[in-house]
Each structure stands twice: as C-alpha cells, then as structure tokens.
Structure 1
Amino acid sequence: MFRFIASSLLGSALIWIGIDHFLNTDWYVPIVPSLLGVPEFWVLFSGIAEITVGLGLLHPRTRTYASLSGVWLMVFLYFANANMWINNIPLDGINYANPWHFVRLVIQIALILLLCWIGEITPFKGKEKLYHQMDVFEGRITSMGFSSGHRFVLGQWSSTPF
C-alpha cells in the first residue's frame, strides 16, 4: 500500500517536472554542464526521461524497471546540480549557498533510496526482484574452457530468452 502511494506521488511529480522541462526550457538551460553542448537538447531529453520514468512508476507491471531507470536518471541528473554548485551558477538570479546545495544532494540520495524501495530492488529485498527470471538453465551446469578461448557448456534449458 505504501509503495503504491509513494510510486504514485513520485511518478506524478516526475511527470509534472518532465512537462515543465518543455514549458520552461530556459529555466533549466543554465545548469546543463557546458561539456555536453546543446543544453536545450539535454533539457528536453531529460524531460522525456522524467516523463517516461514517471509513467512507468504509475503502473505495477513496469514499476521495477521504472525504479531502476529512475535511479540512473537521478544519478545522471545530479551532474546538472553539481555543475550549478561547483560553478556557482545563479538560478532565477539567485546564487545559492553551500548548505542549500548540500540539502539538494541529500534529497537526491533520498530519492535514489526511495526508488530502490519502490521497485523492491537491492538492498531492500536481499536479492534482486527479477533474479528468478535470469535462470535459463535447470540442474547442474558443466562448463569447459579450451586454450582457444572457446567454451563448451552442458545443461538443460528451463526457458529461452529468445
């Protein structure tokens, strides 16, 4: 129940923020690291990514994948926040002090942990939720390596990913 509420709230927030990237592109442009070039593209691209992750969080079937994608999104988006902090870039004409940037970092970490909890991905379950879907063999697996670098594997397929 709490995961549903958290994923609904965070998903809705990400959708709203993603839409805002299209409505107020100029507001986000200054914090895009200059190393990337074409900041308008990266603002719009990150908006699409936020909307996509937000929509994924709203549906139980895609929640785990969206959570994992959201974790990576939060990591990559923090580069813009770090750029703003390191280069003292004003936002709306305001230069923010170090405590504000530190709080922003803590919020980013909290969002990453929340996404891990929502998606029931490590470390909150003790093992990855989709681990059972990675089992493609049943029984004992025998593997032999040759000096040529080739490998020979014996085992019984339980299912095929193809």
Structure 2
Amino acid sequence: MSSRWRTTARWLLGPAYVVAGILHLAVPEPFLQIMPDIVPAPKLVILATGVAEIAGGLALLQNFFPPIRKAAAWGLAIYAVCVFPANINHFAMDMARVDHGLGLAYHIPRMLLQPLLVWLVLWAGQIILWPQRLPDKHD
C-alpha cells in the first residue's frame, strides 16, 4: 500500500513542480518581487530555479532509474529549504502593506506547510520511510 501512496504523491508533486518551474520562466516578475535583496543576480536565480523545478519534477516522475528519482527528491527538498527566505520576505513585505497583501490566511499555512513539503518529496522519492511501520522485533 505504501508504494501506491508514494506513486500518487510523486504524480501530484512532479507536475506541480513542472508547472511552478514553467511559471518561473514565463512570468518571473512575481518571484523577483519577493526575492530577498541579499540574493545576487535575482533574474538568473529565478531562471535557474525554474529550470531546476522542471527537471526535478520530471525526474521525480520517472520510474526507470531510481537513483535519478532519489536525486530529484533530494534536490527538490533542498530547493524547498532554500526558497524559505523568499517566503519569509514575502510574508514581511505583505504584513508591512496597509492592506496586508495576501494576509495571514495565506502566509501562515504556507510557512507551516513548507516542512511538510520537504518531508513529502523525500518520502515520495523513497529517501525516507517514515511513517512506514517498522518491522516487529519478533518477525
């Protein structure tokens, strides 16, 4: 059963990352607006992250060479950690606006779901097993 759930997760995550990557390439302005000032060459970073999301999403979907799928899972998990400062920056920018931009109802779940996304992509890519049941000591 766990295998079916992992496959389902991969088939949800893979296309989501591909679409996000395409958006980074096709419409970079919203991503540039939330980029922290300390990031050098922001346009290049947005381009590179778009390409990385597309490649990672496609590699997560493939079933022929598990090491590539695992590398994609690691890459996408690391990517989710690396973009967290942009999420924090976006949150701070919105809260500083008079109308609070997208507001707490958007930003709080987004912040809380980021660690879940890291876990999910690692689990779907078969890097981690949890919450799979451990074998009984008597088995």
So what's the TM-score if we normalise by structure 1? Answer: 0.68
**Aligned residue among 5, 12, 16 for 1:13:** 16
The structural deviation recorded for 1:97 is 2.4
**Displacement after TM superposition at 1:86 (Å):** 2.5
Contact 2:17–2:56 (Cα < 8 Å) also in 1: yes
1:108 aligns with 2:114: yes
More strand by share: 1
Q: Distance in 2 between matches of 1:46 and 1:39?
A: 10
AA matched with 1:37: P
Instruction: Give the letter for the 2:106 counterpart.
Output: W
The equivalent residue for 2:45 is 42
Partners of 2:33 and 2:41 lie apart in 1 by: 11
Q: Does 1:75 align with 2:78?
A: no
CA gap of 1:122–1:4, structure 2 versus 1, over 3 A, is: closer
Residue of structure 2 in register with 1:87 after alignment = 93
Decide whether the 8 Å contact of 1:31 with 1:89 is kept in 2.
Answer: no
Structure 2 CA distance for partners of 1:21 and 1:94, relative to 1, 3 Å: farther
- Counterpart in the other structure of 1:124: 130
Aligned length: 124
Q: TM-score, normalised by structure 2?
A: 0.78
C-alpha displacement of 1:12: 0.7
1:65-98 CA-partner distances (Å, limit 9, x unpaired) = 11111110100011111111133378xx971323
Contact 1:64-1:118 within 8 A present in 2 as well: no
Task: Indicate the structure whose relative CO is greater, using CA pairs within 8 Å and at least 6 residues apart.
Answer: 2
Residues 13-71 of structure 1 deviation map (CA, whole Å, 9 limit, x = unaligned): 10111011111111211001111133211111110111111011011222211111111
Give the structure with the larger helix fraction: 2
Q: Is the 8 A contact 1:85 1:101 kept in 2?
A: yes
Residue in 2 aligned with 1:130?
none
Coordinate RMSD, CA, aligned: 2.3
Cα distance in 1 for partners of 2:116, 2:102 equals 21
Query: 1:114-142: CA deviations, max 9, x gaps?
Result: 1121122236289xxxxxxxxxxxxxxxx
Give distance in 2, aligned partners of 1:89 and 1:25.
22
Counterpart of 1:11, as a letter, is G
